Every structure is written in C-alpha cells, then in structure tokens.
Amino acid sequence: MSVSVKVNGVSKSFTTGKVEVKALQNISFEVSKGEVFGLIGPDGAGKTTLFRILTTLMIANKGEASVDGFDVVKQYKKIRNRVGYMPGRFSLYQDLTVEENLSFFATLFNTSLEKNYDLVKSIYQQIEPFKKRRAGALSGGMKQKLALSCALIHRPSVLFLDEPTTGVDAVSRKEFWELLRQLQTHGITIIVSTPYMDEASLCDRVALMQQGKIMEINSPKGITENFKKPLWAMRSSAMYQLMLELRALNEVETCYPFGQYHHVVFKGNPVSEDDVRRMIGNISQREIEVRRIPATIEDCFMELMHQ
C-alpha cells in the first residue's frame, strides 16, 4: 500500500519564560493511503502540535515529514491544496451563514459544493435545513458537521481531525465515527486524535501518545495482545473499600477502577482463579467476583505510562 503520511524523527519545543516544553520528542511513523490512523493520548501529549506540523502551519525543530509525497516545509503550498484540517477549536466564520461558510471555503480552493456533493452529501444534508443560519448560532453538534463539510469541500486526500469528539456525548460520538467510516470508503486517509481510549478500537492503527512521545504504534488488536500479564476483573458490594484493600496487598502490582469492576494485576502473574483467590484470601470483603479478562486499550495505555 502506498504511503500517505510520513513522519521521521520530528521534535518540537516551545519556550515560555524560562521553561522549555518538549511538545514532540523524536516522533516517527507512517500512515498508508486510505487508513484511519488514531493519535490517542491526554491533553499535553503533543497531538495538536503534530497536526500543525503536518498541515504546514508550524515548522519542526528537527526531523522531516511528508504528506502525499510532498515535504511539509519545501512544498507546503502543494500540501495546503490537498489536506483538510478540522482544528480542535471551532474556526469557521461565526458571522457568516452555513451556506456562506461553505461557499467561502469552496471558492478558496477554486471549487464548488456541487462539484464535490457526493462526498459531503451525507454530512451536509443534516445541516441543510439551517443553511441560512449564522454559524455562531448553531449547536455544538451542528458546528462540528459544518466544520467537517468545510474541511471536505475540496476533496482532500488526507483529512486531519483534531479531537473531533472531545466534550461530545456518547451517542453523538458513535454517530461521528460512523461518518468517518463512510468517508474512508471514498479513499480518504484520516488522521484523527482523541483522548477517549475506547475510540482507539475504531481506528485501523493507533499511536498511543504521552508527553510528546509515542509509546506504541500498532493495530488496536495488536496493542491489546501485547499486554502479557494476566489481568483480573474483580467486583464486590463495596468497591471503594475493595480497591483500598487490594492496593494494600503486597501481591498486588496495580489495581485500577474500570467502571463496574476493578482491573488487577498481581506480582508473579497468577493464571488460575484458585491462585488469585489464595492471594486475596486475607481481605475483609466477602463474595468477591473474580474472573480473568482480556486487556483493553486503556489497560495497555496505563501499563505503558508506568514503563
């Protein structure tokens, strides 16, 4: 498969006052054409800085990067014509209507809504009833759809989406990811960032990022399969108490709440339930549900943070 985005040894630092912040430290990866590639990490991981470098809005201190075969520094004008970028903060013109925003961006790229209607149709139809409304008066979900339509108006070959689902409720997040899958069928490469670990499983491949570094790059399945320690889910009627008692045990390496269960890793990596029950034999909780489970992306992320 041909390479769409290539990043090689990219570093970027910012200095505020006396403090130097290393936003990106020696980042390298490749994304194939038509792939949905996720940058997964919390605030401060460096996701936005990476987007700005790849969309030619910022220059790295070190390393090189290319998009569609064009160098982000030497051939930045070529890149600007062929990428779509949806920043984390809403950046359209609030005083223009939906229709005016779209035609403005279409004109910039010397195209029109009609020419690329097949691509934006499924998204644009949802905001068409409000086309005479000013963008500033739209709801959050509608703004997001308008921003996505504008980012697609010139039929980009690579689409950069910076935290499109942050602060969005669980249902709308699901719908947004369904939209991305539809776009993928048009052959567009999608690079998307998110702080929600559960969204990693919706990408073809992901990079897990933390404090300017990539901790691991793999398919979601590859990442969870790399979690080698046996992981145990536990539940009782007093979950907070259970967590405190488990954490106080010498045998327990980590214990984290995960929704209705605690996820526990034991020293010595026991694989049988009997062994685990013996290790927790002394704690005061009665009737503890114990079962072995496969790791989630979030388990892996936290494990990598400790290394």
Partner 1 sequence: MKQDLAISVSKLTKRFGAFTAVNEITFDVKQGEIFGFLGANGAGKTTAMRMLCGLSFPTSGEATVAGFDLFRDAEKIKKNIGYMSQRFSLYEDLTIRENIRFYGGIYGLTDQQIKTKTDFMVGQLHLQDQINKLVKSLPLGWKQKLSFSVAMLHQPKIVFLDEPTGGVDPVTRREFWTLIYEAAQNGTTVFVTTHYMDEAEYCDRVSIMVDGRIDALDTPIELKRKFNAPSMAEVFVQLARKAQRGE
Residues that bind partner 1 (CB under 8 A): 16, 19, 41-44, 139-142, 166-172, 174, 195-197, 210, 239-240, 256-260, 298, 301-302, 305
As measured in angstroms, the least distance from the Cβ of 42 to partner 1 is 4
Closest approach, Cβ 282 to partner 1, in A, equals: 22
CB atoms closer than 10 angstroms to residue 125: 12
When the beta carbons of 106 and 197 are compared against partner 1, the nearer one is: 197
Minimum distance, C-beta of residue 30 to partner 1, in the bound complex (Å): 26
What does the CA dihedral 270, 259, 165, 66 come to, rounded to 10 degrees?
-10
CB of 141 to partner 1, least distance (A): 6
**Of 121, 123, 85, 119, which Cα lies nearest the Cα of 105?**
85
Pick between residue 158 and residue 255 the one whose CB is nearest to partner 1: 255
Nearer to partner 1, 111 or 201 (CB): 201
* Structural tokens at position 279: 């290790």
The residue among 16 and 110 lying less far from partner 1, judged by its C-beta, is 16
Query: In terms of CB distance, is 63 or 195 closer to partner 1?
Result: 195
Convert 223-238 to b/e letters by CB count within 10 Å (16 or more is b).
bbeebebbbbbbbbee
**Residue with Cβ nearer partner 1 (59 or 244):** 244
- For residue 51, count other CB atoms closer than 10 A to its CB: 23
Q: How far is the CB of 260 from partner 1 (least distance, A)?
A: 5
| Tokens matching residue 202 | 């919706």
Q: How many angstroms separate the Cα of 202 from the Cα of each of 98, 199, 289?
A: 29, 5, 30
What Rg value do the Cα atoms of the chain yield, rounded?
23
What's the DSSP call for residue 50? H
CB count in 10 Å sphere of residue 264: 26
* Cα–Cα distance for residue pair 243/252, rounded to 1 Å: 11
* Closest separation in Å from C-beta 225 to partner 1: 19
Q: Which residue's CB is nearer to partner 1, number 34 or number 195?
A: 195
Q: Provide the 8-state DSSP code for 97.
A: B
Q: How far is the CB of 306 from partner 1 (least distance, A)?
A: 8
Q: How far is the CB of 10 from partner 1 (least distance, A)?
A: 22
Which one, 104 or 196, has the nearer CB to partner 1? 196
Q: What are residue 252's DSSP bridge partners?
A: 266
CA–CA distance, 157 with 247 (Å, rounded to integer): 49
- DSSP annotation of 283 reads S
Structure-token pair, residue 268 = 């010595």
The two three-digit tokens of residue 144, written as one number:
């997001």
